[in-house]
Structure 1
Amino acid sequence: MSSRPTPQPGILDIAAYVPGKSGAPGSNAIKLSSNESPLGASPKAIEAFASVAQHLEIYPEGTSRILRLALGEVHGIDPDLIVCGNGSDDLLHLLAQCYLGEGDEAVMSRYGFSVYPIVTKAAGAGIVMVDEADYTADVDALLAAVTDKTRLVFLANPNNPTGTYLSDAEVRRLHAGLRPDILLVIDSAYAEYVTAADYSAGLELVAEAENVVMVRTFSKMGLAAARIGWMVGPAHLVDVINRIRGPFNVNLAAQLAGAAAARDVAFTAELKRHNARWRDWLTAELSSNRLRILPSQANFVLVLFASEAEAETAFEALMARGLIVRQVGSSYGIANGLRISIGTEAAMRRVVEVLKP
């Protein structure tokens, strides 16, 4: 008998999620490591958040109705098919807990979001990691990895940390090749930043199918501190998730701020314009024989160096100039890469000053 409480088998095999580095308190460092909004939050969202200060003693409405109604209004979705969570990570955990168990498998791309393996192991299921085609999810390889044990497929679209994406046609081809009892989770965390004409966030496919769910977040739109995620799925899936999600899992300030941010489509559009301009500029400025910049549809770029040593040297050079970027070796296995969030014009010009060949 153990002398202390023992966690369930497999829990201690999970490597904890490591967030991007932050600057020291009081420092003037520019954080480009966590894909946050370079324009801050919507002023309307800030005002809504602040309005809650006089009502901290009151429980929020338990189903995030205020937020679900706003999302339904803006995106043309039945609010009853929306579930909100304490960040999209909360919802990914819930999906894994509900649809994975001992003996099951979840299929995911090699460089997919690092939370997918965590939630899969936490549910007691096995991870099937599928190699990508030049840092892009490979539909044929994903389908070839499906077995009788497969219960769930994770797809980040666009993907973090690569910024690459699959077209709507490719996502539909992936879905068409899955058994109806396999849940396809489309993680569209960066959908607001996509400019590709052949992209779809997944709403249409969710409406057509019984085994697809789309997960989104407000974190990249200026509300990372508020921790707001949301998902859309068929009624039977929403019913399952609502049975186990925590009561009052989205606080009132987050609900009100999220609702205001969702409705502030002008701010979201400005954020998209700024990102597209400086993402494309940064890509063009840095691309060379020495540096490869993966084509990104997100609010960051992944810079690939000739070697791990060169990536480390570049990371230290950027840090010396007060620019904090994300190393992706330990988390994603891309030791020669640095992920750089799109920031202000000044920040982007400083990055180029340091890295341009």
Structure 2
Amino acid sequence: MNEADEMLAWLEGGRDFALAVVTKTWSSAPRPAGAMMAVALDGQVIGSLSGGCVESAVHELALEVLRNGRAASAHYGTSDAEAFAVGLACGGQIDVLVTPVLGPDTVSQLRIYLEAVSGSRAAALALELPGVTEGDGADLGGASRILAIDAEGTAHGNFSHERLTEHISMDARAMIADGATGILEYDETGRRLGSGTRVFVTTSTPPPRLLIFGAIDYAAALAELGRFLGYRVTVCDARRVFTTSERFPAAHEVVVSWPHRYFAAEDAAGRIDASTVVAVLTHDLKFDVPVLLEAVRSAADYVGALGSRRTHAQRTEALLDAGASEEEIARIHGPIGLDLGARSPEATAISIFAEVLVERSRGTGASLRATTGAIHR
């Protein structure tokens, strides 16, 4: 059960709790803006704001918010000494909003957003913030107003007036499309860039896809790791006897089809985008070449292919014969993965995803002790 499902269970059970949200970060903050933590009156916790750094301080504030029913904001890490005192030894700084989840309107709007997150649907959550001049520990005199906004821009809930609600909804819709999170400011007429109402908007977008072609033992390990990392995992192979959900329990979808036909259909339907990871594990030219040709001509972010250097050289020749350009072939990570000395399926899966993470984050892949600069990008 993920954090959204756990919070939904609290809502369904009528449990009162406070919602803490990271609204802004500086330097090497360990969790991004939008990270959430829920704290119940009995002290039970769901989620994390800092990987363990400031949880104790936020936990105490959340219990106070639950007792008095008023949302509050706090800043952690204004100096190295203070950062260390609350556990931010990494030197990062974060702003946090804590609001009680009380009353049918707040519960309803939060439920709509959490259900979208749980169902892998695009949505946004807008929360009212204290004014910019009110400072650390400022409260709103009550719970933070909340809006849930779906991908079409429809708002569930209301802010102080209809025009402001409409503007927040339009801005949130654009942020959903960009996968953005941040603070917006509006004047009394609801216009952006004003100085009256401050709103934090966090967005949830469908998880990135991991398409694995080849129903082999390496695919099972990669599917499990991909799911753990938050990907929606598909395993596809033309061989029905090997391509079963029993063999790949971690996959969200197990598809019996020729890989290139399945990929082409998904691409035509608009389900391949710049977040998609493609791993071709068949190392059989009759499967590899057609699907790789489709993949390198798509918007997929990462395309990798399993096999020895000799196999990849043969694959390259076959792709050239099939009409692939040098630039298209250069998109293929082959042999797939980083040099970690991996041999087992599980270690190979780590090697593959290590390369995916390096490529997507523009990291170096080097040991952190040999690098300088921010650790959390």
**Higher helix fraction (1 or 2):** 1
User: TM over 0.5, yes or no?
Assistant: no
Greater percentage in strand: 2
Which is higher, the Rg of structure 1 or of structure 2?
Answer: 2
TM-score after normalising by structure 2: 0.24
Which of the pair has the greater relative contact order for Cα pairs under 8 Å at 6+ separation?
1
